[in-house]
Structure 1
Amino acid sequence: MNLTPVIPFEPINSTIIPKGDNWIAQIKWDGVRMLSYYDGIEVRLINRRKNDRTMQYPEFRSPSEYCSASSFIVDGELIAFDSNKPSFHEIMKRDSLRSKKSIEIATSQVPVTLMVFDVLYCNGEWVVNRSLAERQIVLSSIIKPNPHVQIVQNFTDADGLFDVMKTHHMEGIVYKNLSSTYVISGKDSRWQKRKLHQDLNMVIGGVTYRDKVVNSILLGVFSNGSLVYVGHAGAGKLTVADWMDLTSRIEPLIIASNPFANKPTRNKDAVWVRPEIVVKVQFMEWTLGKAMRHPTIQGIVANGSIQDCTFDA
């Protein structure tokens, strides 16, 4: 493949709505950031950490079914639904698979959609230095919507969109400046995200058991190179099978000493774990002591990197 994978442009966190007529709002989808690359010969799906996920999503192997360009890099979010809204836990059922047989089964059981919101490369030419408004015109001219690929819609009423997200218990919205260029590996205020809930990737540093099965995890994030305990969680979207699988994955990671720089509040029955397994956790807010209020586990991050588990992630 001639097109070298890149790290996508990222929005910064925000709690206010940007002012001005040059801003649009888009739904923040609770899925996996994914770029689709087509060099005219083969298509590849690569996530934001440059990990190849082409095998996991065979729906996108025929680029002509969803894009008319002779070559392209398009940016978007891969989502899967749980009842009537996107679910990180559901998309992980696809993203974590490695065998052809399991992928074949999951393709019919867990349908996915690529919500495309940007284009970096089109017909042999980089377009990252064009404005977002110009790139969206290019995007609308090449994408052929179908059940697996849709273009993310713009909204001018950001307040109204945020209220709709609240009503439907969605993740939040993203504000984008229409004059913004696309900065590869960049992150700045021309794109801003406003979340209804806090969520972070966190690493497991300890567990507790019930009847020899893990029933709660002690969670940490890195700050200045040290793993800081920020709370524990046992509630969320993990199924009984997920907990059983986590139990088997934890066993070879058990260590004798506490990996956290601070002392966890829940440590009496804790079994310490080498910090390698990453989970996505949603919570209401931080306490003054930097602990989570009402955390819930959204899913185990397939091949998650502990580099993502930081306070400013």
Structure 2
Amino acid sequence: MFVSPMLLHKSEQPFEDKEFITELKLDGIRLILSKFNNQIKLYTRHNNEVTSKFPELLHIDIPDGTVLDGEIIVTDKDGKPDFEAMMERFQSKRSNHHIQFCVFDIIYYKGEKITHLPLIERKDILESLIHNDQYFAKVQWMLGKGEAYFDIVKQHDLEGIVLKRAASKYQINKRSQNWLKVINYQYADVFITGLRKDEFWLLLGIEEINRIKPAGIMEFVSPAGRKQFYKQFQDLIIEEDKKFIHVDPKIKCRVKFRNYTKKGMLCIPSFVEYIS
């Protein structure tokens, strides 16, 4: 049985509040695991059934009538979540990447919906239900300490933290201020090298010795930022193809992004400000 998961709002900064618990934000794929009629089924957050992709997860010993919420991850040699490796595993059964389902909430238990229970009580149920092994793990959490934990996350180049109100109910298919994510962004100064014709995507490049190296695409630009770009780019056009208009890299801006990909591209860059 699919349940549309509760979603997070964003907080620009971590904070210290003992009414909130703090968890590590895991860089993987959101997964809903359900067991009804003694059959385990797996769903993405968009209600795509992916049961056949992860046979390792189909033998968990949980009561019938249970629905779990969590993140499926692949870790690198240092034990950090590796999203690119996770996508390789997701897209190909032939991939030998080892997965782990990290469970952080429970929505149904023994056939009863328990979304009305405070998060802290749902965590207690999880504690007794999930036993850590090579394929399953409970997401560790602590009361408060958001600022201190975020400092540790930055030191280890992890994705970020999640702050959740300890008394919060589980709000199915809702984005709630009771659950907040704080992303450990990186920043870079890049050049705009082009734009896509049919959708607003900007091509980005990073300056290297004697060249501009491609750095990916950027979709997230403020309305004011787009307006300023449109005022400038016409005089900088150097060529076009079927998909893109290429421009002389004269417009420079600062962007924030999650991390560098293995190919040196910026992961999910978003516009901050123009610097030239």
Same fold at TM > 0.5: yes
TM-score where L is the length of structure 2: 0.72
**2:142 is the alignment partner of 1:155:** yes
Gaps of 5+ in 2: 188-192, 206-213, 217-225, 245-251, 263-269, 272-276
Counterpart for residue 42 of structure 1: 39
Matches within 5 A, 1:169-248: 169-197=157-185, 227-232=199-204, 234-235=214-215
Larger displacement relative to structure 2 (14-23 or 182-191): 14-23
Counterpart for residue 117 of structure 1: 104
Counterpart for residue 292 of structure 1: 255
Kindly provide the CA deviation profile for residues 117-143 of structure 1, in whole angstroms up to 9, marking residues without a partner as x.
Answer: 000011110011111011111111211
Counterpart for residue 202 of structure 1: none
Output the CA distance in 1 between the equivalents of 2:73 and 2:195: 28
Change (3 A) 1:272 1:165: farther
Change (3 A) 1:158 1:182: same
**2:85 is the alignment partner of 1:90:** yes
| Displacement after TM superposition at 1:273 (Å) | 3.8
- Note if contact 2:7-2:174 (Cα within 8 Å) is conserved in structure 1: yes
User: What SS does the aligned partner of 1:179 have?
Assistant: coil
Output the CA distance in 1 between the equivalents of 2:165 and 2:257: 34
Output the CA distance in 1 between the equivalents of 2:194 and 2:185: 20
Kindly provide the CA deviation profile for residues 210-234 of structure 1, in whole angstroms up to 9, marking residues without a partner as x.
Answer: xxxxxx99679xxxxx943344363
Gaps of 5+ in 1: 98-102, 200-215, 221-225, 237-259, 275-288, 300-309
What is the percentage of aligned positions where both structures have the same residue? 25
Q: Name the amino acid aligned to 2:179.
A: W
Counterpart for residue 123 of structure 2: 136
Runs of 4 or more consecutive aligned structure 1 residues displaced over 4 Å after TM superposition: 216-220, 260-267, 293-299
| Higher Cα Rg, which structure | 2
Matches within 5 A, 1:42-81: 42-64=39-61, 68-81=62-75
Output the CA distance in 1 between the equivalents of 2:169 and 2:142: 19
TM-score where L is the length of structure 1: 0.64
CA RMSD, Structure 1 to Structure 2 (Å): 3.5
| Displacement after TM superposition at 1:178 (Å) | 0.6
Change (3 A) 1:294 1:270: farther
Output the CA distance in 1 between the equivalents of 2:28 and 2:152: 19
Output the CA distance in 2 between the equivalents of 1:293 and 1:118: 30
Q: Name the amino acid aligned to 1:23.
A: F
Which residue of 6, 11, 14 corresponds with 2:3? 6
Output the CA distance in 2 between the equivalents of 1:111 and 1:181: 33
**2:164 is the alignment partner of 1:166:** no
Change (3 A) 1:146 1:230: same
- Note if contact 1:155-1:161 (Cα within 8 Å) is conserved in structure 2: no
Kindly provide the CA deviation profile for residues 15-69 of structure 1, in whole angstroms up to 9, marking residues without a partner as x.
Answer: 23345321110000111111111113211110111111112111111132xxx32
Q: Name the amino acid aligned to 1:188.
A: S
